[in-house]
């Protein structure tokens, strides 16, 4: 009998993954990963509640469940990088890094150390292992999570299964209800992996001190004050504090750039050319299967989760790439990931280092955009 370690998060997806594997005859062992210990703004430690949900689900399924503490590894490999990126005025994606460094590295090593044959999670993704390994989109297009798995490689994924990847969310909940799992109706988690649904800006301010400055438009006119450039991202509309001002066209204001040297947050009224870009570069790009040599190829890409696929040309060079868009793209943001697809197959991706704007900001405002 093959032994499988299932990462039980406390949610319904991983619980159903464990249930399905047990029904298939595997020796299933549940493990809850504790990655974050701090209480939220309401004084609640969500990790404690999630652990209790994981234990209850494991008991209902009839499998053991243990807890492993990865808070040290998470702080060193994910959270420190997260803060460093914000200090550089970039917008990182810690969920992707959590998968590459914690779930499918530290946790995979832990699972293999427990003499597991495979590791299972509740991700909505599929794997084709018939010849070369292919990472495929989940059957539920609305829940597909391959974007967050793009930093993994074939060697790791050969030891992994995604039991719910071929199901829709509705089917997963139906299975959980029929099995009377205690978390069958549990709400899906949202937000950044370790922050949850708390106020993101307030959370960030606890770790990175505020450095207020001016908010200016494309003429250099001062409109308001910002709390610190790191708290804002390209394309941001809410939370600027200028929506009700008595000037301009009445359209919404958007962040279009940052002048780091002068500590200016640059905004524009309406969605115009300055908010769009024509290409980007990644200093490093990784592929699920063997990396192609230097050269170019056509595929589609996403520059943020849930974005519809966009046609692109990828030009590979020296471990990195340049991605040229078929159509200008809105608010492509350094620090986020460009993830590449060929139909349903996720090819891989890389962290966005630079973008080329469709229309550069006025020279006197332009710095580090």
**Exactly one of 65, 193, 282, 321 is catalytic; which is it?**
193
Angle 12-23/46-61 helices, nearest 10 degrees?
Answer: 20
For 327, the enclosing helix (H) or strand (E) is strand 320-330
Under 8 Å CB-to-CB from 192, ≥6 apart: which residues?
94, 95, 200
Kindly report the number of other CB atoms within 10 A of residue 19's CB atom. Answer: 26
Distance linking the first and last C-alpha atoms of the chain: 56
Smallest Cα–Cα separation from 118: which of 102, 107, 133, 132? 107
Catalytic residue check, 45: no
Catalytic residue check, 193: yes
**Residue 44 has what DSSP assignment?**
-
Smallest Cα–Cα separation from 339: which of 64, 176, 60, 146? 146
CA–CA dist 175, 273 (Å, integer): 48
The label of the residue with tokens 């595929």 reads: 299
Please say whether the beta carbons of 13 and 172 come within 8 A. Answer: yes
User: In whole angstroms, how large is the CA radius of gyration of the chain?
Assistant: 22
Please say whether the beta carbons of 226 and 265 come within 8 A. Answer: yes
Q: Which two tokens stand for residue 159?
A: 């030891």
Q: In which region does residue 16 sit, left (phi positive, over 0), alpha (psi from -120 to 50) or beta (all else)?
A: alpha
Smallest Cα–Cα separation from 205: which of 185, 224, 188, 227? 227
**Exactly one of 98, 282, 321, 346 is catalytic; which is it?**
98
Helix, strand counts (H, E) of the chain: 9, 19
**Residue 156 has what DSSP assignment?**
H
| C-alpha angle 8-68-182 in degrees, rounded to nearest 5 | 30
CA–CA dist 73, 206 (Å, integer): 21
Residues taking part in catalysis: 98, 193
């Amino acid at each position: 009998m093959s032994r499988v370690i299932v990462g039980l998060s406390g949610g319904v997806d991983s619980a159903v993954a464990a249930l399905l594997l047990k029904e298939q005859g595997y020796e299933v062992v549940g493990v809850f990963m504790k990655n974050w210990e701090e209480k939220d703004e309401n004084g609640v430690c969500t990790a404690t509640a999630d652990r209790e949900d994981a234990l209850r689900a494991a008991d209902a399924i009839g499998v053991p469940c243990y807890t492993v503490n990865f808070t040290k590894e998470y702080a060193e490999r994910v959270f420190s990088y997260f803060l460093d990126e914000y200090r550089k005025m970039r917008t990182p994606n810690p969920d992707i890094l959590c998968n590459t460094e914690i779930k499918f590295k530290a946790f995979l090593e832990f699972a293999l150390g427990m003499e597991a044959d495979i590791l299972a999670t509740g991700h909505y993704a599929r794997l084709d292992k018939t010849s070369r390994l292919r990472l495929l989109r989940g059957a539920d297009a609305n829940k597909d999570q391959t974007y967050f798995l793009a930093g993994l490689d074939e060697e790791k994924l050969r030891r992994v299964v995604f039991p719910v990847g071929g199901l829709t969310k509705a089917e997963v909940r139906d299975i959980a209800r029929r099995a009377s799992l205690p978390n069958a109706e549990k709400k899906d988690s949202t937000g950044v992996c370790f922050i949850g649904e708390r106020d993101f800006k307030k959370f960030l301010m606890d770790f990175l001190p505020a450095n207020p400055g001016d908010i200016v438009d494309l003429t250099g006119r001062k409109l308001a004050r910002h709390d610190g450039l790191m708290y804002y991202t390209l394309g941001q509309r809410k939370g600027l504090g200028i929506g009700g001002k008595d000037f301009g066209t009445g359209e919404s204001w958007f962040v279009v750039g940052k002048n780091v040297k002068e500590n200016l947050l640059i905004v524009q009224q309406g969605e115009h050319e300055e908010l769009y870009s024509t290409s980007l570069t990644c200093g490093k790009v990784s592929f699920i299967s063997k990396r192609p040599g230097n050269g170019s190829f056509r595929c589609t890409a996403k520059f943020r989760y849930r974005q519809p696929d966009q046609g692109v040309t990828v030009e590979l060079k020296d471990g990195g790439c340049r991605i040229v868009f078929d159509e200008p793209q809105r608010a492509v943001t350094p620090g986020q990931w460009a993830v590449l697809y060929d139909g349903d197959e996720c090819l891989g991706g890389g962290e966005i280092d630079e973008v080329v704007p469709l229309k550069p900001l006025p020279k006197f405002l332009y710095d580090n955009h």
